[in-house]
Structure 1
Amino acid sequence: MTTDNKSIVQRALAELIETGSTNALEPLLSDDFVHHRPDSTSSTKAEWLAAVHAALTPLAEMQVQVHHLLADGDHVVVHSRRQLPDAGPEIAVVDIWRLDNGLIAEGWEIIEPVAHAAANLAWWQPAESL
């Protein structure tokens, strides 16, 4: 099952990146799909697909480099770096996907601008010591 889940997520990402459309992604998401953000907000399948679709136009030329694609049971983790053309800002992204019955049922996403990574290494220190 782990290999199948990994293949489903890999296919979803490839189709999204290659086509620049959410049309191929939509049937791979369960009807009750939920996407979670670090700020504790979440979105439904329709809301998340609309947000991804809206981002695709300005990000159509974004370069995506997948560094890790790991699967464990019903979870698949993707670590990637993404950069806008013309040396635009680069971000590091970790997506965690939970699959159920061959469909992506939940997603979590963490995005960090690569330029801010060094500053985030000291997040536990009081602000006055930084």
Structure 2
Amino acid sequence: MTTETTAEQNKELVQRGLAQLLETGGTDTLAPLLSDGFLHHRPDSTARTKEEWLAAIRAALVPLAAMRVEIRHLLADGPYVMIHTRRSLPDGGPEIAVVDLWRFEDGLVAEAWEIIEPVAEAAAHLRWWEPEPATRP
């Protein structure tokens, strides 16, 4: 049996899952939203399984429970939900910008992609494609 969800329902699931993770500091409410074959992709081309990703989140729960998260954008299109957040810890650590892309299949999250960038480094990262200035002999 296939359970199709709408883009709005998918968006609500992502928002509720993030809120519950941050409120409770536990993964119990997040785990049922992920398919058994869930994969979490990182920019370095590595991927974690559902069990590996949940274990990594559990290992980081102390900071996650105290993290301040500001949702900047939450968009849904078909089976995809994109959430752009700014995150910081109360101890004054570096603020980060995070973009997560979630793909739903049969009403569950099947894949996720994540990009994290320290806000203080953003301006330098915007120039990566600019040519180096020519040096004189």
The amino acid across from 1:106 in the alignment is: E
> RMSD between aligned alpha carbons?
1.3
Matching of residue 78 in structure 1 with residue 83 in structure 2: yes
Q: Give the 3 Å change call, closer, same or farther, for CA 59–14 of structure 1 in structure 2.
A: closer
Deviation at 1:58, TM superposition (A): 3.2
Q: TM-score, normalised by structure 1?
A: 0.94
Listed one character per residue, the Cα deviations across residues 85-120 of structure 1 (whole Å, up to 9, x for unaligned) are 132110000000000111111000000000000101
The amino acid across from 2:41 in the alignment is: H
For 2:14 and 2:67, the matched residues in 1 are separated by 19
Which of 105, 109, 116 is 2:121 aligned to?
116
Alignment identity in percent?
A: 64
* Largest Rg, 1 or 2: 2
Match of 2:44 in 1: 39
For 2:22 and 2:64, the matched residues in 1 are separated by 10
For 2:59 and 2:133, the matched residues in 1 are separated by 39
For 1:102 and 1:33, the matched residues in 2 are separated by 12
Deviation at 1:61, TM superposition (A): 1.1
Deviation at 1:7, TM superposition (A): 1.1
The amino acid across from 2:8 in the alignment is: T
Q: TM-score, normalised by structure 2?
A: 0.89
Contact 1:8 1:102 in 2 (8 A): no
Contact 1:80 1:92 in 2 (8 A): yes
Aligned residues: 129
Deviation at 1:3, TM superposition (A): 0.9
For 1:67 and 1:85, the matched residues in 2 are separated by 19
Which of 100, 108, 132 is 1:103 aligned to?
108
Matching of residue 8 in structure 1 with residue 13 in structure 2: yes
